[in-house]
Chains A and B, each alone.
Chain A
Amino acid sequence: MPLSYKHSASKGFDGRLILYYSLLVTIGWLTIFSTSYNPNANLGFSFSLPYVRQLIWIGTSVVLAMVILLLDARIIQHYSYHLYLFCLLLVISTFFLGSKINGATSWIKIGSFSIQPTEFMKLATAMALAKFFNEGKTTVEKRSMWLIAFGIILTPAFIILLQKDTGSALVFLSFIILFYREGMTGTIFIFGAIAVFLFVFTLLTNEIYSLALLTFILVIAWIIDRKDKKKIIRNIIIYVVAIAFIGAVNIGYNKVLQPHQKQRIDTLLGKTSDPKGADFNLIQSKIAIGSGGFFGKGYLNGTQTKLNFVPEQSTDFIFCAIGEEWGFLGSCVLGTLFLSLVIRILRLSEKQRNPYARYYGYGIAGIIAFHFFINIGMTIGLVPIIGIPLPFISYGGSSLWAFTAMLFIFIKLNDN
């Protein structure tokens, strides 16, 4: 395949996506500058300063974006599996080469820089899934097609889970949006919602109450459906599965989860309160955001984020700085920007004549949306603390490169 840039089919890169991207990256850099800015020290230029490093990553991201835009879209499509396998190997290699950061062994150190293969794994999985759906749907029979699709997302998720990076592993759940769009029934979401309810209910009370509740529902259902044997059998099956699920939750919660993960769930459910210990991060995060008020304290005027009260304030908790300095208004602007980006991707995906581009678009829209909702949600106490970055905003080269590549590949595909 020729590597030449094909001009003929171009209808112009999507200006809005590039605008959203530029705005988000700029906000990100300004916020990183603010969190590391010390009014009592002179502005320095040192490669150890986060905002200087981030500037380098932004620069390299722009180069990366341009390279992608110059590539032939077919090459991207063609090498999707190769990239997937390569990334999978990288992720696996961290078992041997990786260095521990924050308890997770998902980093590879190269000189003074560390790269995180999991960030690229998300991109590669989106590409592989798109390629698989594009080619597979015609050749593979329906049921096994879904199995393979699940295999594509669960393999990296499982390996990443083994590396104790639960947050990144959960990101792979976001492909459900793509699955749903591509024909999976909506029932799965209902079951999902029931599962979440049972999970929370079991942990909040105990399994006896869950059991009682399920039995009560079963009895009601039996009375309603008493004439329909088929439905009764179906209900009993659901009942048994639900009980098995409760058991699994118990075992999973007590045996599988790390103490700090249990703690995070407990904190969110309000089961324990330990403001100086495990709850510290969440409380500090809420204080920072809450103290922002409607208009915020103003750029560079945040106290909570500037004084390191908020942990990980330039990476996972960077929203605290935005919430503190720009207030409710700024938070809404940021949210609107993210939503516009995601919805724009979805809208453009729907218009694609090349199915690969649509699958890919839904894949990355899901990833970005998941990151956005989980990241913001954890800082304001709506979801447990799961360490994943805020796309385009959070400090970090791997994440920025991966999301840049993700978006610009879509922009390139959209252009064809």
Chain B
Amino acid sequence: MNNPNASRKYALIVGVMLILAAVYAVKLFSLQVISKDYKEAAKNNALRQITEHPDRGLIYDRNDSLLVFNDAAYDLMVVPKELRTFDTADLCRILDITKEDLIKRIEKASNYSKIIPSLFAQQMSKEDYGYLQEKLYKFPGFFVQSRTLRSYPEPIAAHILGYVGEVNDKTIEDDPYYKMGDYIGISGIEKAYETELRGVKGQRVVLVDVNNREIGSYHNGEEDIRAIPGTSLWSTLDMSLQRYGEQLMQNKRGSIVAIEPKTGEILCIVSSPSYDPNLLVGKARSKNYTMLWRDSIKKPLFNRALQAMYPPGSTFKLANGLIAEEEGILDANTIYNCPGGYQVGSHLIGCHHRGGTNLVAAVQHSCNTYFCRAFYNIISNKRKYPTIQEGYTAWRNHIVKLGFGTTFDTDLPYEKKGILPTAEYFDKRYNRSWNGNTVVSMGIGQGEVCVTPIQMANMLAIIANKGYYVRPHVIKAIGSKDNLNVQYMDKIDAGIKPEYFEPIIQGMEMAALAGTARGAQIPGIRVAGKTGTAQNPHGRDHSVFALIAPIDDPQIVVFCLVENGGWGAAVACPIASLIAELYLTGEVKRKGVEENMLNLSTK
């Protein structure tokens, strides 16, 4: 059969096909060449940016023992945009959460960002992680990210090491480095050295398939940025000394601060009661923090070494003796007679010994009369300072130069300044009518002045160094042991000439040999010591002790304060000397003393 229109129809059919093909080509051209949306979408679709969290820097003690290290933990992340219907009951079961909780978490993540991964469940156990990993394909939009958590081989130095926690909203706003769910050092070394410890976050771009499985790296990993692990730190702390100090302070309240005087390096810094730093790690952190924070009896979060303010007691006499010498009020040969007390109007400041006393003996016997007179003479030196205000201010300036009434501003967390009243304060309080005797109790470390244990320890370092101090700090080296932390290494002049230290040190040695501080003696080592008994209006006096050893070339100064410990000689003195003994000799031979102190409870 021959169709008359055949060739026309053939042409029409072919023509329609070509027109259709042209339409398709236009559509393809707009899809593939003109539109950019699909290229962008393809990237989001198949590529996932995974933040590589660097391992936080490790923290070693001065002898390369690990104080802080990292442990692996697994976080479940969610990308809200990639979510699809999944078995919520199953996921709830695996994570042990309620469905409401699950919905809330997804909403929170969605509000933050639809495309940036958000933390969904923190720190799953290894078992949960393993189980979930196998089932992950069932939960599109979820993936697991491994991270590290802080871990502490020994439960010591909690206050000074500080802790790490999730970054808060304000920090996220202020610092673009941080993203929701990141960790940041919140206190202590972790906070002070956050930029060193945190390292640099990396980024891995991986290909994922539609079932949410990682297939491999993108472009052979050429676009990946490796995370740079945090810088390790070497602390000035001596781990064994720190451990020992905390053991000795068990069942007591108070503080020990030991410093290497030449360098200002803190060898141990104990605040008791303390807590196990492992409590403030990971999932349980906020719960445990609340628990510690609510403990109003022990106040374990309170760092007594830096924040507790005590009347310094007799140990403050050392400072006043030095200032009196520097001010020319007295010298090593000046003798004051002690009639058994210092009379202030109708009030007598009693003293345990009597007779003519020179500076060495005054230190040895902790003579109240001597130091009251010295203090009175300093601030009432009319030839030099016409008014009491000028005299007092001169004394106060000396005290500030000795490191009191101020903070060191090094890497120590939350230091307190203590209390050191100004002349204006007394003017106000006594309506401008006051004199040397009004404030004379400050001469023996009582009255208005309050200091922190670290300030006292620093004063001991000044005595040991005969005139200067290096601000106390806890980080010795950054990155490698040879790369010293130079920012706190400068020597600061205390404003007292070196020769004035001789009688003070001599008096302290005498105290240890035949005075109030006999319990401080360490076999084979020349020790200088000074007891103190800080008056406590709320109960039993605080036991205070200051120690320098060895005298010829001081390696350690120790300040110890035990609240409600009574006489300085009773508790603080043996504890401080045990610390010095362990540090200087590497072992404690006086087992009896040690046992007494370990078992002693002041609660």
Asked if residues B3 and A290 are in contact (CB atoms below 8 Å), the reply is no
Q: Which residues of B contact A180 (CB under 8 A)?
A: 9, 13
Partner of B7, one of A40, A339, A350: A350
User: If the complex has contacts A307-B46, A307-B215, are A331 and B28 also in contact, measured as CB distance less than 8 A?
Assistant: yes
Question: By the criterion CB–CB under 8 Å, are B32 and A303 in contact?
Answer: no
Residues in A with CB closer than 8 Å to B21 are 335, 339
Contacting residue for A328 out of B28, B41, B46, B210, CB 8 A = B28
Chain A residues closer than 8 Å to B218, beta-carbon distance: 303
| Cβ-defined contact, A40 with B28, below 8 A | no
Bound CA span A284–B47, Å: 14
Residues of B within 8 A of A181 (CB): 3, 6, 9-10, 13
Give CA–CA (A283, B37) in the complex, Å.
11
Is B45 an interface position by the 8 A CB rule? Answer: yes
Residue of A nearest to B140 (CB): A276
A77 at interface by CB-CB < 8 Å: no
What is the minimal beta-carbon distance from B317 to any residue of chain A, in angstroms? Answer: 76
Q: Does A39 contact B (CB under 8 A)?
A: yes
Q: A181-B3, A276-B84, A303-B47 are in contact. Are A373 and B32 (CB under 8 A)?
A: no
- B92 proximity list for chain A (CB < 8 A): none
CB-defined contacts of B9 to chain A, threshold 8 Å = 180-181
When C-beta atoms are compared, the residue in chain B nearest to A184 turns out to be B9
Chain B CB within 10 Å, residue with most, of A186, A276, A306, A355: A276
Whether A373 lies near B6 (C-beta < 8 A) is no
- Which residue from chain B places its CB closest to the CB of A350 in the assembled complex? B10
Which of A62-70, A239-247, A248-256, A374-382 lies at the interface? A374-382
A residues less than 8 Å from B216 (CB atoms): 39-40
B486: CB under 8 A from chain A? no
The smallest beta-carbon distance between A414 and chain B, in angstroms, is 16
B430 close to A (CB within 8 Å): no
> A117 at interface (Cβ–Cβ under 8 A)?
no
Cβ contact within 8 Å between B45 and A355: no
C-alpha gap A376/B207 in the complex (Å): 27
Tell me the bound Cα distance from A288 to B209 in angstroms: 13
Partner of A287, one of B18, B29, B45: B45
Residues of A294-333 contacting chain B, CB below 8 A:
294, 303-304, 306-309, 323, 327-328, 331-332
B20 within 8 A of A: yes
**Binary contact track B6-33/A, C-beta < 8 Å → 1, others 0:** 1101101110011011011101110111
The answer for the CA separation of A413 and B39 in the assembled complex, in Å, is 47
Chain A interface size band reads 35 or more
What residues of chain A lie closer than 8 Å to B3, measured between beta carbons?
181-183
Q: Does A369 contact B42, Cβ atoms closer than 8 Å?
A: no
Interface residue A291 (Cβ < 8 Å from any Cβ of B):
yes
Query: In the bound complex, do residue B31 and residue A380 qualify as a contact, i.e. CB atoms below 8 Å apart?
Result: yes
Tell me if A177 counts as interface (CB < 8 A to partner B): yes
Contact A355 B1 (CB under 8 A): yes
- CB nearest neighbor in B for A359: B1
Chain A contacts for B414, CB-based, 8 A: none
With most chain A CB atoms within 10 A of its CB, the pick from B3, B7, B24, B31 is: B31
**What's the minimum C-beta distance from A126 to chain B, rounded to whole angstroms?**
16
Contacts of A377 in B (CB 8 A): 24
Whether B38 sits at the interface, judged by CB under 8 Å, is yes
**Minimal beta-carbon separation of A182 from chain B (angstroms):** 7
Contact: B1 with A309, CB < 8 Å?
Answer: no
Asked if A357 is at the interface (CB within 8 A of a chain B CB), the reply is no
Q: How far is the CA of A293 from the CA of B37 in the complex (A)?
A: 11
Given contact pairs A308-B210, A346-B14, A291 touches B42 in the complex (Cβ within 8 A): yes
Is the Cβ of B45 less than 8 Å from the Cβ of A290?
Answer: no
Q: Is A400 part of the contact surface with B, judged by Cβ < 8 Å? A: no
Nearest B residue to A365 via CB reads B13
B208 at the interface (CB under 8 A from A): yes
Q: Which residues of A contact B14 (CB under 8 A)?
A: 343, 346
Q: Which residues of A contact B211 (CB under 8 A)?
A: 308
Given contacts A291-B41, A293-B32, A293-B33, contact A303 B27 (CB under 8 A): no
A284 contact set on B, CB distance < 8 A: 45, 210
Question: What residues on A are CB-neighbors of B38 within 8 Å?
Answer: 286-287, 289-291
Q: How far is the CA of A2 from the CA of B216 in the complex (A)?
A: 61
Count the B residues whose beta carbon is within 8 Å of the partner chain — how many?
42
For the complex, would chain B's binding face be called helix, strand, loop or mixed by DSSP majority?
helix
B39 touches A291 (CB 8 A): yes
Distance between Cα atoms of A40 and B221 in the complex (Å)? 13
Bound form: Cα–Cα A380–B1 in Å = 41
Nearest to B24 among chain A residues (CB) is A376
Q: A75–B92 Cα gap in the complex (Å)?
A: 67
A137 at interface, CB cutoff 8 A? yes
Q: How far is the CB of B502 from chain A (nearest CB, A)?
A: 77
User: Which residues of the other chain, A, contact B18 by a CB distance below 8 angstroms?
Assistant: 339
Among B17, B28, B83, B209, contact of A369 (Cβ-Cβ < 8 Å):
B17
Instruction: State the CA gap A343–B20 with chains docked (Å).
Output: 14
B23-78 interface with A by 8 A CB criterion: 23-25, 27-29, 31-33, 35, 37-39, 41-43, 45-47
- The answer to whether B209 and A380 touch across the interface, beta carbons within 8 angstroms, is no
Looking at B1, B23, B35, B218, the one whose CB has the most chain A CB atoms below 10 A away is: B1
Most buried by B among A183, A303, A331: A303
Q: How far is the CA of A60 from the CA of B402 in the complex (A)?
A: 98
Rounded to whole angstroms, the CA-CA distance of A308 and B415 in the bound complex is 59
Chain B CB within 8 A of A342 CB: yes
Q: Is the CB of A289 within 8 A of B6?
A: no
B31 close to A309 (CB less than 8 A): no
Which residues in chain B, 178-223, are within 8 Å of chain A measured between CB atoms? 207-211, 215-216, 218
Residues on B with beta carbons closer than 8 Å to the beta carbon of A286: 31, 38
Q: A289 touching B209 by the CB < 8 A rule?
A: no
Inside 8 A of B17's CB, which chain A residues have their CB?
A: 339, 342-343, 369
Partner of A335 from B7, B25, B43, B208 at Cβ < 8 Å: B25
A156 within 8 A of B: no
The distance in angstroms between the C-alpha atoms of A380 and B27, with both chains bound, is: 8
Please tell me if A391 contacts chain B, counting CB pairs below 8 Å: no
Is B33 a contact partner of A294 (Cβ separation < 8 A)?
Answer: yes
In chain B, residues 280-313, which have Cβ atoms closer than 8 Å to a Cβ of chain A? Answer: none
Please name all residues of chain B whose beta carbon is closer than 8 Å to the beta carbon of A397 when the two chains form the complex.
none
Q: Which single residue of chain B is at the shortest CB-CB distance from A134?
A: B1
The closest CB in chain A to the CB of B31 belongs to A290
Q: Which residues of B contact A342 (CB under 8 A)?
A: 17
Q: Which of these, B10, B46, B215, contacts A346 with CB under 8 Å?
A: B10
What is the chain A residue whose CB lies nearest that of B10? A350
Residue of B13, B32, B215, B216 contacting most chain A CB atoms (<10 Å): B32
Judging by beta carbons under 8 Å apart, are B210 and A307 in contact?
Answer: yes
Q: Which residue of B lies closest to A297 (CB)?
A: B42
CA A356 – CA B7 in complex, angstroms? 18
A389 CB–B CB distance under 8 Å: no
| Inter-chain contact B84/A307, CB cutoff 8 Å | no
Separation of A39 and B217 alpha carbons in the complex (Å): 10
B6-A382 in contact (CB<8A): no
Is A384 interfacial (CB 8 A cutoff)?
no
Assembly CA distance A40 to B27 (angstroms): 35
Say how far B420's CB is from chain A's closest CB, in angstroms: 67
A179 to chain B, nearest CB (A): 11
Interface: A28 (CB within 8 A): no
Residues of A within 8 A of B6 (CB): 181, 350
Contact status A380-B210, CB under 8 Å? no
A-B contact pairs, 6 of them (CB 8 A): A180-B13, A288-B42, A290-B42, A291-B41, A355-B1, A376-B24
- 5 new A-B contacts at CB < 8 Å, known A290-B38, A306-B207, A308-B211: A182-B3, A289-B28, A307-B208, A339-B17, A350-B7
Identify the B interface with A (CB < 8 A). Answer: 1, 3, 6-7, 9-10, 12-14, 17-18, 20-21, 23-25, 27-29, 31-33, 35, 37-39, 41-43, 45-47, 83-84, 207-211, 215-216, 218
* 8 A-B pairs with least C-beta separation: A290-B38, A291-B42, A307-B209, A303-B46, A328-B32, A308-B210, A290-B31, A287-B41
Residues of A within 8 A of B (CB): 38-40, 137, 177, 180-183, 186, 276, 283-284, 286-294, 303-304, 306-309, 323, 327-328, 331-332, 335, 339, 342-343, 346-347, 350, 355, 369, 373, 376-377, 380-382
